[in-house]
Amino acid sequence: MTFVLASSSPRRLELLARLGIVPDRIAAPEIDEAPLKAEPPRAYVLRIALAKAAAIDRAADEIVLAGDTTVAVGRRILGKPADEADLRRMLALLSGRRHHCLSAVVAIAADGTVRHRVSDTILAFRPLGPAEIDAYVASGEGMGKAGGYAIQGRAEAFVRFMAGSHSGVVGLPLAETRALLKAAGVPLA
């Protein structure tokens, strides 16, 4: 049995290490991550994680783990910002508001059984001023991150309330991931 991480995210690799797991192989799937018209955020993040897991060529003895994380304000999905202007727009939208960080995890067992879970973490940012948003944008930290922020970095100071999985906001909810991997046959302590 070998374990494949279907992600090129260094954050997911670091989070797996917290569970004492090192993948035997890393494969970065190439899929279209565009939301479908009127697709709810929870359905979107699960669909993307399932597509990532399915896009990996899997040998008969391999267990595959894939994940996806998105930020939602109401029904609006905030993916990765396209540019600095988009990042500013996202941060202004999140300023002083509650939002959801949804993180889907999918495990395909060696026998082909697919299991999945979605972690929903509610966060509230304190109000952010224009200079603060400009400084965060200039740091470059929010580019390439769902919702335009990295909670494990400077943006942690923006959070005034959080209920749910901190690791899910980073990119891989560990409690859910551990349960899925154990069910898939990965030996865990």
What local confidence, expressed as pLDDT, does residue 187 receive?
A: 87
What local confidence, expressed as pLDDT, does residue 188 receive?
A: 84
Contact 84, 137 (CB under 8 A): yes
Per-residue pLDDT reduced to its tens digit, 61-78: 999 999 999 999 999 999
Q: At residue 42, what is the residue type?
A: R
Contact 50, 114 (CB under 8 A): yes
**Within 10 Å of residue 31's Cβ, how many Cβ atoms?**
15
Active site residues: 68
Please provide the size of the chain in residues. 189
Pairwise CA distance, residues 167 & 13, whole Å: 12
What local confidence, expressed as pLDDT, does residue 57 receive?
A: 92
> Which of these, 172, 32, 27, lies nearest to 106 by C-alpha position?
172
Pairwise CA distance, residues 141 & 138, whole Å: 8
**Average pLDDT, rounded, for the chain:** 96
**CATH 3.90.950.10 is right for the domain spanning 2-184:** yes
- Does this model's pTM top 0.85? yes
What local confidence, expressed as pLDDT, does residue 189 receive?
A: 74
What local confidence, expressed as pLDDT, does residue 1 receive?
A: 80
Q: Residue 159 corresponds to which tokens in the numbers above?
A: 């959070």
Per-residue pLDDT reduced to its tens digit, 112-145: 999 999 999 999 999 999 999 999 999 999 999 9
